[in-house]
């Protein structure tokens, strides 16, 4: 049945092959559908996908990481029996897409879209573009093995989504939070729309602007001026007043034949000391109300209305003395601070720039000029009138439009806002109820929330959610619509448009309930943060809010840390407006994918790596393992080498299952659930250990996954497979499974091994689903006939089944075993004795009770691993049995101290070693006389060396010594040679490509009758190990011509000729 899932010896791990087959299997068998069916009615787990922006058909590796993290969590929850909400989403509206379509169509202005092209065509193109990209992205995500409801994603462009989103605005209106207000906003004159502060901050660039000092004539005083400084001459026509700082020192100076008023520091900065003289001093307060005449009042129409406000206004907050003149020229229509101050003095707010960035009629002479291009003209006019004090250029950081790189301008406009600042306190308390992982994510959102501002929701564009606000042309009454069906209430004869986008929705006119007048929709669309912010209920389809209320809250979201200020915040804000609380319970934050050097990956930097390319090169599972091993909330450095490492780990996984499968298959082993009980009485220490160990691993993995510390859980799983199963357990049990009969002992091993391997691969499927499915099909299903049709239909391993095996002491004993094992191998190495050669005894000298009792527990394993006949634990106090001490005189010291007597003293020490050592250890010194001279030797004059008796090889560790005996009995020698011969014959079998079960006849020739006799003693052993039905050992060169393979071997200097032939 599982031809396509072949596992076994000789089959290598090939990710591409495996992944392809598994994908076909999942599709053909509709595994996703079966999983959904299985989980239907289970506990709900509401996961909400942060919708990526489909502006391109390919995605960043970071987006891949994002989806893979989500996938691992969802897979875990499904295996645990949760009926998960796994709808993927796409954030489909917004200007970047409009800009792309504009480029495709070759239109440059907003007006072109509405007049020449037609909004309907434009919207259709946006939609087509988005849907095409959504398709491609979905294929890409699916290809990574991400299991979500790809057939039914939520798109913010769906009618149901738009309709759901309207409820937020309606709710805001009901709560009295919706308003229309004059706001100074960043405006892109090319896109002709407002930008949110958030959008502005993304794109500051160094640009060069004029830097001018302008003289504003003081009213009623001859040749006297207030001096201001600006880098935006185009705002001067809109100047309304001048701000000063009350506590700052100002001066009136005489410069040439004029009088200039400015801050004291700026005078010093602008002029040399001998160029001017101070005429009068003021503090800012003294200057309050000082009136001036606008320098271009006769050229600018609107200035006629502004004359009464032309005076000095105190505004300490907004005037800094480090730059400029201490006077800030203020145009309330073009500066946020100016706007604030204007309100306090009831000054009017005029913006002289229109949507396209051109001066309006109010600007008089400058009417029709583009704002930045008017700079030169304005400077020229100021200069010709004698009002320009200085001019220069300055390079400074200036905000550009992040989509089209056009320099922005500040402009007062009427915008729809939601007064979110009123919800600030609620927000602060709500974020404390959310589980932020890691904890510092809370601090980050806190700093965002504490500054929560009113939310400008309107955008003057096309491709977005239309604001559901209708205003009456006659009486100004406004209506906010929360559902399409409500439209009919206002206008019974009306058919709602099939598509709720502009321009179709614009044609819907309602009858004013107050005056029967005609109500038209406001032309704006919504800020895209409204789109994604309402996803917590809008993504749930028709009547999303009702469904959300049933689910209670979003259980889990995870996005990159850039989304703190983005989606996490916008979801929260929308939740507060609509349901008065945080809409999510747990937030996991993940890092960014950077390139190898830690720089951001960008196509423009040339360090961008396509996901498709990674998959082609390494495979999906290695990529997933690599990403899921990385600390979730820290940035991840992309690295080919690390992916290869991940692949190597998967290769070990593969080899373990391949090993297990080969043997279980040969023995026709079948697993059934009761067998673990049947064999529990005869389990060996290693079996009990690995079961206990798996309990501990499972416990840690569960804890870590519940806390979303995914990378730690993955580490734990991988470490268990590589270090506990592959490196230790398999090595220990190898001999037990080589036995040919189906002994209970072997069946017990198989049972333990199978159970653990089955449960492990189920757990691992959340990390590497393809190889896990493949192994589940090729290994688990062929040995356990009661298994499910897919690993995805399994249950998460039940830790309770392992609890009774938990034995902490045993686990610690095996830690000791590892330590001692390593020390003993090191001792063998020191003595130059290969592991293949058996030794008589392994010795452990220690006074550490934990070490000695542990060895008593696991001593049999040491015998197996170190290849010795006996393990002896002895107390450290008995070490004299194995070692002796030498005293080595320190010649330099003794020579210096005793001069002529030195050589005789040295001789004495060397000839009386025992005496010297005893005296030195008991008293710390020894006295004797040479030629009647009294000599006192201390510990410092000699070195005491510990040496081992020649029969032993020891190494030192912090707990004592580990060693082996070097004397070898004839029997052991024979066994050693046997293992050398076995190994060579195995190599030859391999060379002939023999099957595990094939039998051979063999002949061994060696020109030494003694060796022949030795070998004859272990002939049976050799035959058994090599599956030989006949073995001829001889010292006479016989006939080897009918052998399949003949080889010469050099073993410890003796020449052996071995021939083998396969039995047909």
- Where do contacts with RNA occur on this chain (CB under 7 A)? 9-10, 12, 197-198, 200-202, 204, 440, 443-444, 447-448, 561-562, 564-566, 592, 594, 596, 598-600, 631, 634-637, 639, 641-642, 645, 648, 651-652, 655-656, 658-659, 662, 722, 726-727, 730-731, 734, 738, 822, 825-826, 829, 834-836, 958, 979, 982-983, 986-987, 989-990, 996-997, 1025-1027
Min dist CB 84 to RNA, Å, is: 28
> What would the two tokens of residue 100 be?
């792309």
Min dist CB 522 to RNA, Å, is: 26
Residue number, 618 or 979, with CB nearest to RNA: 979
Residue number, 645 or 784, with CB nearest to RNA: 645
Q: Which of 174, 110, 169 is nearest to 530 (CA)?
A: 169
Residue number, 785 or 958, with CB nearest to RNA: 958
Cα distances from 261 to residues 210, 248, 272, 969, in angstroms, run 22, 13, 16, 110
Min dist CB 779 to RNA, Å, is: 13
SS3 percent helix, strand, coil of the chain, rounded to 5, is 45, 20, 30
DSSP string, 961-1009: EEEEE----HHHHHHHHHHHHHHHHHHHHHHTT--TT--EEEEEEES-H
Min dist CB 101 to RNA, Å, is: 25
CB 486 within 8 A of CB 480: no
- The answer to whether the bond into 438 is cis (omega within 30° of 0) is yes
Min dist CB 1022 to RNA, Å, is: 10
Residue number, 197 or 907, with CB nearest to RNA: 197
> What would the two tokens of residue 641 be?
């080498």
> What would the two tokens of residue 536 be?
């917590």
Q: How far apart are CA 509 and CA 516, in angstroms?
A: 12
469-472 and 1054-1062 strand pairing: unpaired
Residue number, 52 or 217, with CB nearest to RNA: 52
Residue number, 515 or 1051, with CB nearest to RNA: 1051
CB 450 within 8 A of CB 426: no
Min dist CB 833 to RNA, Å, is: 10
**H or E element: which one contains 110?**
helix 110-111
Q: How far apart are CA 661 and CA 779, in angstroms?
A: 6
The upper half-sphere exposure of residue 861, i.e. CA atoms within 13 Å in the direction of its Cβ, equals 29
Residue number, 38 or 590, with CB nearest to RNA: 590
Residue number, 372 or 561, with CB nearest to RNA: 561
Residue number, 103 or 648, with CB nearest to RNA: 648
Min dist CB 604 to RNA, Å, is: 13
Write the secondary structure of 602-639 as one string of H (helix), E (strand) and C (coil).
CCCCCCCCCHHHHHHHHCHHHHHHHHHHCCCCCCEECC
Residue number, 82 or 764, with CB nearest to RNA: 764
Residue number, 160 or 658, with CB nearest to RNA: 658
Q: Which of 712, 537, 744, 542 is nearest to 634 (CA)?
A: 712
Residue number, 772 or 807, with CB nearest to RNA: 772
Residue number, 631 or 913, with CB nearest to RNA: 631
Min dist CB 639 to RNA, Å, is: 6
Min dist CB 400 to RNA, Å, is: 14
Query: Phi and psi (nearest 5°) for 281?
Result: -120, 145
Min dist CB 526 to RNA, Å, is: 19
Min dist CB 537 to RNA, Å, is: 25
Min dist CB 1064 to RNA, Å, is: 18
Q: How far apart are CA 926 and CA 942, in angstroms?
A: 11
Q: How far apart are CA 480 and CA 519, in angstroms?
A: 11
Residue number, 486 or 980, with CB nearest to RNA: 980
**H or E element: which one contains 839?**
strand 839-846
Residue number, 121 or 739, with CB nearest to RNA: 739
Min dist CB 598 to RNA, Å, is: 5
Residue number, 203 or 811, with CB nearest to RNA: 203
> What would the two tokens of residue 600 be?
């951001």
CB-CB neighbours of 976 under 10 Å:
22
Chain mean position to CA 72: 13
Min dist CB 198 to RNA, Å, is: 5
Q: How far apart are CA 345 and CA 250, in angstroms?
A: 23
CA-only gyration radius of the chain, Å: 43
CB 129 within 8 A of CB 100: yes
Min dist CB 836 to RNA, Å, is: 5
3-state secondary structure of 1050: strand
Sign of the alpha-carbon dihedral angle for 984, 990, 994, 997 = positive
Cα distances from 699 to residues 79, 168, 622, in angstroms, run 16, 43, 25
Q: How far apart are CA 355 and CA 193, in angstroms?
A: 7
DSSP string, 508-566: --EE-TTT--EEEE-S-EE-HHHHHHTHHHHTT-TTHHHHHHHH-SEEEEEEEGGGGTT
Q: How far apart are CA 214 and CA 295, in angstroms?
A: 9
Residue number, 138 or 629, with CB nearest to RNA: 629
Q: How many degrees, rounded to 5, is the angle at CA 137 between CA 131 and CA 140?
A: 150
Min dist CB 468 to RNA, Å, is: 28
Min dist CB 727 to RNA, Å, is: 5
Q: Which of 185, 238, 235 is nearest to 412 (CA)?
A: 185
Residue number, 230 or 564, with CB nearest to RNA: 564
Min dist CB 564 to RNA, Å, is: 6
Cα distances from 378 to residues 51, 209, 232, 307, 389, in angstroms, run 47, 14, 10, 19, 14
CB 521 within 8 A of CB 470: yes
């Amino acid at each position: 049945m599982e031809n396509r899932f072949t596992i076994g010896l000789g089959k290598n791990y090939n990710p591409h092959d495996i992944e392809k087959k598994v994908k076909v299997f999942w599709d053909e068998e509709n595994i996703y559908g079966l999983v959904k069916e299985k989980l239907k009615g289970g506990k709900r787990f509401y996961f909400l996908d942060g919708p990526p922006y489909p502006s391109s058909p390919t995605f960043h590796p970071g987006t891949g990481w994002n989806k893979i993290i989500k996938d691992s969590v969802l897979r875990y929850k499904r295996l645990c029996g949760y009926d998960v909400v796994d709808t993927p989403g796409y954030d489909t509206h917004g200007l970047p897409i409009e800009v792309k379509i504009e480029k495709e169509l070759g239109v440059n202005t907003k007006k072109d879209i509405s007049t020449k092209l037609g909004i309907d065509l434009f919207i259709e193109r946006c939609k087509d573009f988005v849907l095409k990209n959504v398709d491609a992205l979905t294929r890409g995500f699916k290809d990574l093995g991400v299991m979500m409801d790809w057939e039914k994603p939520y798109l913010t462009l769906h009618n149901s989504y738009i309709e759901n989103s309207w409820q937020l605005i309606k709710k805001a209106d009901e709560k009295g939070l919706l308003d229309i207000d004059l706001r100074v906003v960043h405006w892109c004159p090319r896109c002709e729309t407002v930008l949110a502060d958030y959008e502005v901050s993304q794109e500051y660039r160094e640009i060069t602007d004029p830097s001018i000092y302008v003289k504003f004539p003081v009213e009623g005083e001859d040749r006297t001026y207030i001096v201001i400084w600006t880098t935006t001459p185009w705002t001067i026509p809109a100047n309304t007043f001048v701000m000063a700082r009350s506590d700052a020192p100002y001066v009136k100076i005489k410069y040439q034949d004029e009088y200039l008023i400015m801050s004291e520091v700026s005078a010093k900065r602008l002029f040399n000391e001998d160029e001017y003289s101070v005429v009068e001093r003021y503090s800012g307060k003294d200057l309050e109300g000082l009136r001036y005449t606008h320098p271009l009042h006769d050229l600018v129409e609107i200035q006629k209305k502004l004359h009464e406000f032309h005076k000095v206004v105190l505004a300490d907050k907004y005037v800094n003395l480090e730059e400029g003149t201490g006077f800030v020229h203020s145009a309330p229509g073009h500066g946020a601070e100016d706007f604030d101050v204007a309100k306090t003095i009831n000054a009017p707010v005029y913006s002289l720039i229109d949507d396209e960035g051109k001066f309006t009629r109010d600007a008089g002479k400058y009417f029709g000029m583009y704002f930045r291009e008017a700079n030169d003209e304005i400077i020229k006019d100021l200069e010709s009138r004698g009002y320009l004090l200085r001019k220069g250029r300055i390079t400074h950081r200036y905000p550009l439009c992040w989509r089209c790189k056009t320099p922005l301008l500040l402009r007062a406009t009427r915008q729809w806002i939601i007064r979110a600042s009123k919800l600030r306190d609620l927000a602060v308390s709500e974020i404390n109820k959310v589980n932020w992982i890691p904890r510092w994510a809370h601090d980050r959102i806190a700093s965002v929330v504490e500054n929560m501002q009113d939310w400008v929701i309107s955008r003057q564009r096309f491709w977005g959610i239309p604001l559901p606000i209708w205003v009456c042309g006659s009486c100004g009454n406004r209506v906010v619509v929360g559902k399409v069906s409500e439209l009919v209430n206002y206008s019974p004869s009306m058919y709602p448009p099939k598509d709720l986008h502009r321009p179709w929705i614009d044609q819907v006119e309602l009858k004013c309930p107050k005056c029967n007048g005609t109500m038209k929709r406001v032309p704006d669309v919504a800020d895209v943060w409204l789109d994604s912010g309402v996803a917590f209920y809008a993504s749930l389809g028709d009547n999303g809010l009702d469904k959300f209320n049933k689910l209670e809250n979003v259980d889990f979201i995870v996005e990159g840390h850039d989304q703190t200020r983005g989606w996490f915040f916008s979801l929260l804000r929308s939740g507060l407006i609509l349901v008065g609380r945080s809409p999510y319970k747990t937030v996991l934050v993940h890092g960014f994918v950077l390139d190898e050097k830690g720089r951001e990956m960008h196509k423009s930097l040339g360090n961008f790596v396509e996901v498709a390319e990674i998959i082609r090169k390494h495979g999906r599972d290695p990529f997933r393992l690599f990403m899921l091993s990385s600390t979730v909330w820290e940035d991840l450095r992309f690295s080919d080498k690390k992916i290869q490492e991940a692949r190597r780990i998967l290769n070990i996984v593969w080899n373990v299952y391949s090993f297990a499968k080969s043997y279980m298959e040969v023995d026709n082993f079948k697993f059934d659930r009761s067998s673990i009980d049947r064999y529990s009485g005869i389990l060996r220490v290693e079996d009990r250990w690995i079961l206990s160990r798996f309990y501990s691993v499972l416990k840690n993995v569960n804890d870590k996954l519940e806390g979303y510390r995914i990378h730690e859980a993955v580490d734990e799983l991988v470490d268990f497979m590589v270090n506990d199963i592959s490196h230790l357990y398999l090595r220990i049990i190898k001999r037990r499974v080589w036995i040919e009969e189906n002994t209970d002992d072997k069946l017990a091993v198989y049972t333990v091994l199978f159970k653990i391997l089955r449960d492990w691969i189920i757990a691992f499927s959340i990390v590497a689903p393809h190889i896990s499915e493949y192994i589940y099909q090729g290994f688990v299903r062929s040995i356990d006939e009661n298994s499910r049709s897919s690993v995805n239909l399994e249950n998460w391993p039940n830790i309770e089944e392992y609890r009774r095996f938990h034995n902490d002491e045993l686990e610690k004993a095996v830690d000791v075993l590892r330590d001692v094992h390593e020390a003993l191998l090191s001792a063998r190495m020191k003595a130059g004795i290969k592991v293949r050669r058996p030794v008589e005894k392994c010795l452990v000298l220690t006074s550490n009770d934990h070490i000695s009792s542990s060895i008593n527990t696991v001593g049999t394993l040491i015998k197996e691993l170190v290849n010795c006949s006996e393990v002896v634990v002895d107390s450290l106090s008995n070490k004299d049995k194995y070692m002796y001490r030498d005293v080595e005189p320190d010649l330099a010291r003794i020579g210096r101290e005793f001069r002529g007597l030195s050589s005789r003293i040295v001789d004495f020490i060397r000839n009386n070693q025992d005496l010297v050592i005893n005296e030195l250890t008991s008293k710390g010194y020894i006295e004797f006389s040479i030629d009647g001279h009294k000599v006192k030797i201390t510990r410092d004059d000699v070195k005491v060396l510990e040496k081992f008796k020649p029969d032993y090889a020891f190494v030192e560790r912090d707990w004592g010594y580990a060693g082996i005996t070097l004397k070898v009995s004839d029997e052991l020698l024979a066994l050693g040679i046997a293992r050398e011969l076995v190994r060579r014959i195995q190599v030859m079998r391999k060379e002939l490509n023999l099957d595990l079960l094939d039998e051979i006849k063999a002949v061994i020739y060696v020109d030494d009758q003694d060796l022949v006799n030795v070998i004859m003693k272990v002939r049976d052993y050799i035959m058994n190990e090599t599956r030989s039905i006949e073995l001829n050992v001889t010292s006479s060169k016989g006939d080897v011509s009918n052998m399949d393979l003949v080889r010469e071997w050099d073993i410890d200097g003796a020449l052996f000729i071995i021939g083998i032939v396969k039995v047909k």
